[in-house]
Amino acid sequence: MGTDQTTAADGFPYTLTRTLDAPAAAVWRAWTTPEQYTQWAYAAAGSVEMDVRPGGAWKATMVTPDGDRFPLTGSYLEVTENRHLVVGMDVPGKPDPSVMTVELDEHDGHSMQIVLRQTCDSAEERDMAEQGSTMLLDSLTAFLSGKAGD
């Protein structure tokens, strides 16, 4: 009976922080534009749809390094352009979405800090999510540094 009492206090959270050499608007576009998201987020071409507004839906099919495909769906819970994005990800067999928070904090117009937070139901789920999010941030960093000359 106690399984439906999961709260942030007894969940398994992680926080990842990166400083990126890019303005917040460029990071926001990379995270909220299907064409750009596909280029860095391991998504299958043509699979990304985004309705970036509170309550808006998103979907993407992720491709692993082994070539396995995982369709993901969810919705945007909070949206503050260039600053704050709260994304719900549907979890098969669970009534509530897994929630990821992305915060952008611009320092001087040229660099910014991105903070990604998520609380999971188990240590194993947290470790997998944290590993996946670390890969995403590594790829985002590489994508943005490649665009610096554009």
Give a yes or no: residue 40 inside a domain: yes
pLDDT at 116: 97
Give a yes or no: residue 4 inside a domain: no
Give a yes or no: residue 111 inside a domain: yes
CB 70 within 8 A of CB 89: no
Give a yes or no: residue 86 inside a domain: yes
| Rounded mean pLDDT for each run of 10 residues along the chain, 150 residues in total | 47 95 93 96 95 97 90 96 96 90 88 94 93 94 77
3-class DSSP state of 37: helix
pLDDT at 111: 84
> Can you give the CATH number for the domain in which 114 is found?
3.30.530.20
Tell me how long the chain is: 150
pLDDT at 148: 53
Task: Write the CB contacts of 47 (distance below 8 Å, at least 6 apart in sequence).
Answer: 38, 59, 60, 61, 71
Give a yes or no: residue 71 inside a domain: yes
Domain count, the chain: 1
Q: What is the pTM of this model?
A: 0.85
Give a yes or no: residue 5 inside a domain: no
Give a yes or no: residue 2 inside a domain: no
pLDDT at 117: 97
The whole domain housing 108 covers 10-147
